[in-house]
Amino acid sequence: MQGAEGENATRGLVYLIMHLIEDPIKMWGKEELKYWLALDLCNGCGLRASRMLKLYDRFETMKSFWQGSPSELKEMSRAPYYLGWITDELIAKFVAKRAEIDPDSLADKLELANVRAYPLAHPLYPHTLREIHDPPFVLYVKGEMSMESLVYGIGVVGTRTPSHYGQKLAKEFGRELAQAGVTVISGMAVGVDSFAHYGAIEAGGKTAAVLACGPDICYPSSNKPLFAKLAEDPKGLILSEYFPGITPEKWRFPARNRIISGIGQGLLVIEAGKSSGSLITARQAFEQDRQVFSIPGRIDQPTSEGTNRLIADNMAQLVTSVPEIMKALNWATSTRPRTEPIVLELFGREKDVHELLSNEPVHFDQLTEKTGMTAGELSSTLTMLELAGLAERLPGDWYVRG
């Protein structure tokens, strides 16, 4: 893949060197890591990521801040440090919260959950994510895929209730992006997210799920097979900004979407209604200066209102193939263009039935009524079309074009 040669070459060298160190606990040592974890759990104290990164740049350790007495912390707000955000109110909240947390136990809890942690200052923390307005203070990761693979990723989002057409597109684009060497990033929700993940997995490519809970918790529970696959596959990854054991809550989902949009280089929206949460993610990507892509849909379908609006408002580039995405990002790819469907010359009943099929499911009974065929004749005809790859049977005796 191609990008800014000098900067990417330097980052690539750093990643190559750092990738040799598999365990951040071994590299940093539990002594430093535990204070990052402890500070991450100090909710409501005003310790934003950008502030703490500047603090780390100045002191090169979080231990002194964590262990500082109120008077020592107050000194940090004065010369020669001038950290004016360390107010009396912040100090009081921090000291009270600090008393509730045992840093010594946190790294051990990570190991028990088989989770790795990458604080904001860690060399393997994705530089793309570090650059957004509100980056996670710590990334918690479960799985074997390398962290550097996330940078060359595309977020894929869409409705939780896609049409058959949307399901097909999500899987196809997930597969073709993975075949092109792109990491498919999504949220493991039912619907478009899951189909995109499975498309990448079927292609033997890389895919990562960003959760709105701890990385050790499968949400939704119906996606346990996918969760297990991502956690066990060398090309899979589960990540979160939440410590293991933290359960999903409604407000966490919009927050996690900024990670889906910000951790890679672009975002693809596949089927989204006019009030879909995917549109929030698209706006976040736009604000993060990420390239946003949208697949157009039928104007009479509610699940296309959001994607079509993104295109109309010039917030997203209209795309119909993966090579268009690769070209827009100036990424090299060996992916072949999507091939046109093979056109066979049909006659008689096969032709009549095929013309009644489309990307939207139609029931067997409807086809019987429209064609005037007996159930046996129609079943035989549909079987012939299926064998030719021109029809696909869905559960419940529904059919679509192949």
Whole-number Cα distances in Å, 278 to 69, 148, 181, 241 = 45, 25, 24, 19
Against a cut of 0.85, is the pTM above it?
Answer: no
Residue where a domain terminates, one of 109, 130, 152? 109
pLDDT confidence tier of residue 387, bands split at 50, 70 and 90: low
Domain that holds residue 225: 143-328
Predicted pLDDT of residue 136: 94
CA–CA gap between residue 138 and residue 120 (Å, rounded): 6
256 belongs to a structural domain: yes
Whether 94 and 217 map to the same domain: the answer is no
277 neighbors 257 (Cβ within 8 angstroms): yes
Select from 39, 23, 35, 34 the least CA-distant residue to 114.
Answer: 23
If you average pLDDT over each of 213-217, 247-251, 354-358, which comes out highest?
Answer: 213-217
Whether 103 and 160 map to the same domain: the answer is no
Whether 205 and 261 map to the same domain: the answer is yes
Asked whether the predicted pLDDT for residue 125 surpasses 60, the reply is: yes
Whether 359 and 390 map to the same domain: the answer is yes
Looking at 184-193, 294-303, 326-335, which range is the least confident one?
326-335
Apex 235 CA angle, 233 and 240, nearest 5:
90
Beta strands in 152-284 (DSSP E): 153-158, 183-186, 207-210, 236-240, 266-270
41 belongs to a structural domain: yes
Select from 185, 193, 253 the least CA-distant residue to 222.
Answer: 193
CATH number of the structural domain spanning residue 178: 3.40.50.450
Residue where a domain terminates, one of 280, 300, 328? 328
Residue where a domain terminates, one of 109, 126, 156? 109
391 neighbors 357 (Cβ within 8 angstroms): yes
Asked whether the predicted pLDDT for residue 342 surpasses 90, the reply is: no
- Tell me which of 60 and 296 has the higher pLDDT: 296
Select from 79, 156, 102 the least CA-distant residue to 322.
Answer: 156
Question: Per-residue DSSP letters for 303-358?
Answer: GGHHHHHHHHTTSSEE-SSHHHHHHHTT----PPPPPPPPPP---HHHHHHHHH--
333 belongs to a structural domain: no
Whether 320 and 388 map to the same domain: the answer is no
User: Torsion over CA of 268, 272, 277 and 281, rounded to 10 degrees?
Assistant: 20
CA–CA gap between residue 397 and residue 377 (Å, rounded): 15
Residue 232 has a CB neighbour count (10 Å cut-off) of 11
Whether 94 and 153 map to the same domain: the answer is no
Whether 216 and 319 map to the same domain: the answer is yes
CA–CA gap between residue 175 and residue 186 (Å, rounded): 13
Predicted pLDDT of residue 81: 67
137 belongs to a structural domain: no
Predicted pLDDT of residue 62: 86
3 belongs to a structural domain: no
Predicted pLDDT of residue 137: 92
Whether 303 and 160 map to the same domain: the answer is yes
DSSP state of 147: G
Which distant-in-sequence residues (6+ apart) come within 8 Å of 395 by Cβ? none
Asked whether the predicted pLDDT for residue 11 surpasses 60, the reply is: no
Predicted pLDDT of residue 122: 85
Residue 384 has a CB neighbour count (10 Å cut-off) of 15
CA–CA gap between residue 359 and residue 278 (Å, rounded): 23
94 belongs to a structural domain: yes
CATH number of the structural domain spanning residue 354: 1.10.10.10
Whether 363 and 293 map to the same domain: the answer is no
334 belongs to a structural domain: no
Whether 266 and 353 map to the same domain: the answer is no
pLDDT confidence tier of residue 43, bands split at 50, 70 and 90: confident
Whether 298 and 354 map to the same domain: the answer is no
Whole-number Cα distances in Å, 398 to 30, 41, 165 = 57, 50, 14
DSSP state of 399: E
Asked whether the predicted pLDDT for residue 10 surpasses 90, the reply is: no
pLDDT confidence tier of residue 1, bands split at 50, 70 and 90: very low
pLDDT confidence tier of residue 396, bands split at 50, 70 and 90: confident
80: cis peptide before it, omega within 30°?
yes
Select from 146, 223, 209 the least CA-distant residue to 174.
Answer: 209
Phi, psi of 250 (to 5 degrees): -55, -40
Q: What is the pLDDT of residues 161-218, one digit of tens each?
A: 999 999 999 999 999 999 999 999 999 999 999 999 999 999 999 999 999 999 999 9
Predicted pLDDT of residue 176: 96
* Mean pLDDT, residues 34-52 taken together: 87
Asked whether the predicted pLDDT for residue 31 surpasses 70, the reply is: yes
Q: How many structural domains compose the chain?
A: 3
Predicted pLDDT of residue 65: 86
98 belongs to a structural domain: yes
Whether 98 and 190 map to the same domain: the answer is no
